[in-house]
């Protein structure tokens, strides 16, 4: 075993590539470690990456980079996410004696910490965030391809399938969602994108999506309308715009009804999922009735942590050893939870 030292804060992300290991910490630094045949494990390169701490890392394999075989030392692309709500793209290149990690692009869109990143097929990258959304990026250009609400709670992890056709996402809502990805530069993807209208809420349709939807009815008029515009217009206005196209009117009526039902369901769901995260036990994921603190500094439901400690002596959150089994009531949090329950 070889122990690598150098970070001064908790390490939250690791990825191997070639004979290198990249690590990121809560202090926001990235370190490259040389892990060669002699297993020296010394720091090859280091730099500051995210002001508020690194949260996640992914590395694009060289097999995915065109013409990499022309390089004796193929380049790598690295994506990092942070508590600063940013995704950063790094270019890692090497020579026989030097290793360079260069920031080539900063991607800004998320409104909360970026909790996961995953490279997909071609030039695509996915990022998931505490704002409950997933963003699909073109990491080569920095353009945002698509953003959508993926879960009712934080998006904690995401991963593309090997062929890039599917994206899986996980969340604090205890669900794994599987998304089919269409790429705009293939005819098959173009066909799939039209079919995907059924899975995209109409209130999230962009002008481009509305235009593609209209093409199904052989309507190629350039109208600057979003999905919300279609929802807000009266039947008479729709008939005037589209020459009383009966098929379109019937389809729009169906979409409006579906949107109405989704709003009702969303309202009910938001009532069930609006509980602040700090009121939920990290073990049971249920609102705490008798919150207590243990030596790891975190709060749990008394019954849940007592049962946990009869089986394990490690923290459920940080996986470090818990010194002693003393439990202290968190009276302030209990007061806040009781007040929340009374008001709701």
Q: DSSP labels for 210-252?
A: HHHHHHTTT--------HHHHHHS-HHHHHHHTTT-HHHHHHH
Low-confidence stretches of the chain (pLDDT beneath 70): 37-45, 62-74, 94-99, 183-199, 221-222, 261, 264-274, 344
User: Would you state the pLDDT for residue 337?
Assistant: 87
Cβ count within 10 A of residue 249: 15
pTM over 0.95: no
In contact, 15 and 58? CB cutoff 8 Å: yes
* Three-state secondary-structure class, residue 55: strand
11-183 has which CATH code?
A: 2.130.10.10
User: Would you state the pLDDT for residue 41?
Assistant: 62
Residue listed under structure tokens 């280091």: 46
Copy the structure tokens of residue 264.
């009702």
In angstroms, the Cα distances linking 342 to 120, 281, 301, 336 are: 46, 19, 19, 10
CB contact burial 273-284 (16+ within 10 A = b; e otherwise): eebeeebbbbbe
Residue listed under structure tokens 């709003």: 263
For the stretch 270-311, pLDDT in tens is: 555 567 888 888 888 888 889 999 888 889 999 888 888 888
Q: Where are the CATH 1.10.150 domain residues in the chain? A: 199-273
Copy the structure tokens of residue 40.
């020296």
* Pairwise CA distance, residues 298 & 296, whole Å: 6
* Pairwise CA distance, residues 72 & 80, whole Å: 25
In contact, 92 and 45? CB cutoff 8 Å: no
Q: Where are the CATH 3.30.40.10 domain residues in the chain? A: 277-343
Architecture of domain 199-273: Orthogonal Bundle (1.10)
Strand partners, 13: 24
User: Would you state the pLDDT for residue 37?
Assistant: 67
In angstroms, the Cα distances linking 97 to 42, 44, 90 are: 14, 10, 19
For the stretch 236-261, pLDDT in tens is: 888 888 888 888 888 888 888 777 76
The contacts of residue 77 (CB under 8 Å, 6+ apart) are 59, 60, 65, 89, 90, 91, 92, 119, 139
Q: Where are the CATH 2.130.10.10 domain residues in the chain? A: 11-183
* Pairwise CA distance, residues 301 & 181, whole Å: 40
Query: Taking every pair of C-alpha atoms in the chain, what is the biggest distance, in angstroms?
Result: 77
CATH class of 277-343: alpha beta
Helix (DSSP H) and strand (DSSP E) numbers for the chain: 7, 18
């Amino acid at each position: 075993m070889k122990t690598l030292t150098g970070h001064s804060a908790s390490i939250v992300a690791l990825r191997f590539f070639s004979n290198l290991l990249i690590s990121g910490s809560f202090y926001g630094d990235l370190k490259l470690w040389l892990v060669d045949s002699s297993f020296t494990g010394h720091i090859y390169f280091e730099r500051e990456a995210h002001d508020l701490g690194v949260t996640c890392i992914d590395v694009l394999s060289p097999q995915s980079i065109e013409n990499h075989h022309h390089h004796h030392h193929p380049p790598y692309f690295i994506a990092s996410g942070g508590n600063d709500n940013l995704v950063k793209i790094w270019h890692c290149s090497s020579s026989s004696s030097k290793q360079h990690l260069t920031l080539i692009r900063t991607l800004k869109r998320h409104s909360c910490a970026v909790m996961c990143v995953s490279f997909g097929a071609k030039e695509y990258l996915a990022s998931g965030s505490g704002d409950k959304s997933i963003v699909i990026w073109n990491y080569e250009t920095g353009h945002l391809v698509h953003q959508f609400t993926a879960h009712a709670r934080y998006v904690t992890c995401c991963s593309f399938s090997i062929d890039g056709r599917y994206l899986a996402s996980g969340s604090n809502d205890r669900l794994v969602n599987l998304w089919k990805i269409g790429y705009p530069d293939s005819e098959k993807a173009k066909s799939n994108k039209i079919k995907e209208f059924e899975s995209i809420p109409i209130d999230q349709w962009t002008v481009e999506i509305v235009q593609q939807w209209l093409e199904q009815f052989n309507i190629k008029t350039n109208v600057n309308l979003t999905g919300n515009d279609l929802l807000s217009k009266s039947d008479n206005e729709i008939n005037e715009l589209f020459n009383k196209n009966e098929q379109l009117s019937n389809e729009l009526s169906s979409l409006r009804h579906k949107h109405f039902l989704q709003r009702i369901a969303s309202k009910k769901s938001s009532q069930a999922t609006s509980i602040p995260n700090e009121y939920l036990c990290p073990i049971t994921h249920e609102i705490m009735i008798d919150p207590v603190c243990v030596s790891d500094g975190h709060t749990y439901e008394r019954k849940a942590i007592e049962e946990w400690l009869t089986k394990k002596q490690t923290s459920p959150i940080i996986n470090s050893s818990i010194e002693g089994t003393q439990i202290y009531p968190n009276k302030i949090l209990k007061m806040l939870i009781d007040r929340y329950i009374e008001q709701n």
